[in-house]
Amino acid sequence: MLITVPDRPRLGPRLAFRGWRARRPFWGGLLLALGGGEILLTEKASLKVVMHIGMQGLAGYLLPTLMVLLGLLILFNPSQRLFYSITGVLLSLGTWLTSNLGGFFLGLLLGATGSCLAFGWLPDQEPRTGRRKRRRQARAAARAPAPKGAQGAA
Amino acid sequence: MASSPDVPSAGNTPENPESGSPPEAPQTTGTAGAERRGRVRARRAAVMAVPATLVAATLAVLTAQGALGVQFAISGMPFTVTATELNGTGFEQFGNLDNMAEGSPNAGDTGGQVLVVTSAIKNATLTKLCQSVDLGGTNLLITAGSGAEKVTASDLTTDSTELSGDAAFNNIEIGNDASTLTKAGVKGPIGVFSQQADTVRIAKLRQTNYATIAGVFKLPGLKLRFSESGC
């Protein structure tokens, strides 16, 4: 389904998935979609009742459905993640009012966490280093005549 | 679904990551070193997480205080209770006024008050209890006590607007002041008509209630379901 730019040689499926995951806020999108799904599962009112109640009842289904959609969009169109995640967090909070207290709080929690992760995600980061190592590097950089970007890590 | 892989330069994020990592000019994918991956920056995530937590907490507090209506707040809706037979000892009945929550949408032009008949029974046994609430299009139906074991309740108080059935009382006193009642341990407002009896037996009971309070309410064989028709 995904025809990405073949910038690297063909790898095994696991490694390919790892590469795919590295290029998008994977956990953010997944959690947001799961949160929406959980809220949808807690909905018990039949469609007939929803039609009877009107917009208030429809919103109970509309918000979690949009959460699932936004979660998938974050996964498959990560370049628009800021808009998706901001909309996602607003919808997640809105489900408190419309859909069984946000799927009895669980779906709201998943959705809000996922949105925050997607919002905080940035592509193309340095490989993870430990705090101690980072501090040592900063000290070394401060001692040496720094070339540029010397204000450095926290 | 057009796939749009993120180009390595964070095109749509104007600000640099706050760590100010020096921009490494050439991409170093495929080299022996660890590859560059997308990652969640904690401080960036906190920009959204902190306000979201505050809003969620505010919603929870407002809901707990009752200032915020959630979807399944249905208070102020009447519900129907039926039973094939009710046997009780210690019976009182008096007029009363119930108040709905402030600003309840069910208040209509009543000012949120409903005139009810309060019935209190010290110890009650009910056969084939059925309770239903009309939710508009569907009914929430609760049944219990249809088997050998019957529904029992102590200190049962119901606020009803309608009550029908075939009743029989022992040692009934009619016309007491509601504040002087003794048989079920509940006292009504002063200056209100009331009646009390030692025992009560009502067959084919049917009530339209706004509230039920009980000290202990045992419901053997409880079944809760949605149904097209009420009790």
Give the separation between CA B167 and CA B172, rounded to whole angstroms. Answer: 12
**Do both B88 and B51 map to the same domain?**
no
Q: Are residues B122 and B194 in the same domain?
A: yes
**How many whole angstroms separate alpha carbon A114 and alpha carbon A104?**
17
Would residue B14 count as lying in a domain? no
Assigned domain for B35 exists: no
Residue-wise pLDDT tens digits, B9-64? 444 444 444 444 444 434 444 443 467 788 888 999 999 999 999 999 998 888 77
- Residues with pLDDT less than 70, chain A: 1-10, 45-57, 145-154
Contact between B205 and B56 under an 8 Å Cβ cutoff? The reply is: no
- B158 with B222, same domain: the answer is yes
Same domain, B206 and B92: yes
pLDDT digit string, tens, across residues A81-113? 999 999 999 999 999 888 878 888 899 999 999
Residues B57 and B139 reside in one and the same domain: no
The answer to whether residue B19 sits within a structural domain is: no
- Measured in angstroms, the CA of B80 and the nearest CA of chain A are apart by 20
Q: Is residue B7 part of a domain?
A: no
What confidence category does residue B73 fall into, taking pLDDT thresholds of 50, 70 and 90? very low
B50 within domain boundaries: yes
Q: Provide the pLDDT for residue A74.
A: 95
B178 and B100 in a common domain: yes
CB contact under 8 A, A125 and B42: no
pTM of the model: 0.47
DSSP per-residue letters across B112-140: TEEEEEEEEEEEEEEESEEEEEE-SSSEE
Instruction: Check residue A145 and give its pLDDT.
Output: 61
Residue-number span of the structural domain to which B54 is assigned: 40-70
* B210 is a domain residue: yes
Q: What does DSSP say about strands B193-213 and B216-218: parallel, antiparallel, or unpaired?
A: unpaired
For residues A29 and A75, the answer to whether their CB atoms sit within 8 Å is: yes
Helix, strand, coil shares of chain B as percentages rounded to 5? 10, 45, 40
Give the mean pLDDT of B145-167: 83
* In a shared domain, residues B44 and B96: no
Residues B101 and B208 in one domain: yes
Contacts of A23 in chain B (CB under 8 A): 5-6, 38
First to last CA, chain A: 41
Question: Do B58 and B117 have their domain in common?
Answer: no
Q: What is the pLDDT of residue A84?
A: 95
Q: Which residue has the tokens 């028709």?
A: B229
Contact between A125 and B17 under an 8 Å Cβ cutoff? The reply is yes
A123·B6 Cβ contact <8 A: yes
Is ipTM beyond 0.85? no
Of B70, B92, B108, at which residue does a domain stop?
B70
How many contacts, defined by CB atoms under 8 Å, are there between A and B? Answer: 160
Q: How far is A38 from chain B (nearest CA, A)?
A: 17
C-alpha distance from A48 to closest chain B C-alpha (Å): 7
Give the pLDDT confidence score for residue B180 in this predicted structure. Answer: 82
Structural domain total, chain B:
2
Quick one: B87 and B141 in the same domain? yes
Same domain flag for B151 and B61: no
Cβ <8 Å between A77 and B4: yes
- Quick one: closest CA in B to A151, which residue? B20
Per the model's pLDDT, the better-predicted residue between B6 and B201 turns out to be: B201
Same domain, B63 and B96: no
